[in-house]
Amino acid sequence: MSQNLIDLNLSAEALDAVDAALTQLEAQLAPLIGLNVDQRRQLTKMGEKSESFCRQAVDVMQQNPNILPRNFDLEAMRRDLAAFDALRPRLVRLTRLFERANDTHMALGSDLMSNALEGYAFLKISGKGEGLEGLRKTLSARFNRARPEVQPSAPSAS
């Protein structure tokens, strides 16, 4: 085995603990929403520059609530800002954890694929005459490509 980016062995107890923690996270974060593609596309986005504008707007509105119409919910805006600030560090941690889990998953898949290819190459070379021809053919199916059917060309009208 020539490639071994990671050698991971998660015990059943560790996986149970992870599942319990994920269940707890899902329960605590149940109020989070999901948006479809159209909803995401239609939203007014807040980037880094816009964030400063929003914070300043909240400050100005708090200092001058009399300029706002009665149906403007300044308290809801303040709650949104507080939730935005509270969620950000958790989102950073979750993103970092997701990226590490995704990288680990990719490394495991790469280890598997690289070593399967290496083992298959050995099987093709040293497996001859060992009664492994059927197994080699089964594994070779991964490399069989369907060839496009060649359509006979229509005779040209001359």
Contacts of 108 (CB under 8 A, 6+ apart): 5, 6, 8
- How many residues in the chain? 158
Dist. CA 108–CA 40, nearest whole Å: 33
Dist. CA 117–CA 157, nearest whole Å: 51
| pLDDT in single tens digits along all 158 residues of the chain | 689 999 999 999 999 999 999 999 999 999 999 999 999 999 999 998 899 999 999 999 999 999 999 999 999 999 999 999 999 999 999 999 999 999 999 999 999 999 999 988 888 887 666 677 777 778 877 777 766 666 666 666 55
pTM recorded for the entire structure: 0.75
CB atoms within 10 A of CB 128: 11
What pLDDT sits at residue 56? 96
Q: Which residue has the tokens 């590490």?
A: 100
What pLDDT sits at residue 153? 66
Longest dimension (CA), the chain: 91
The domains of the chain are located at 14-128
Q: Which residue has the tokens 């001359």?
A: 158
Contacts of 67 (CB under 8 A, 6+ apart): 61
**Alpha-carbon separation of residue 28 from 17, 21, 74 (angstroms):** 16, 10, 26
What pLDDT sits at residue 154? 63
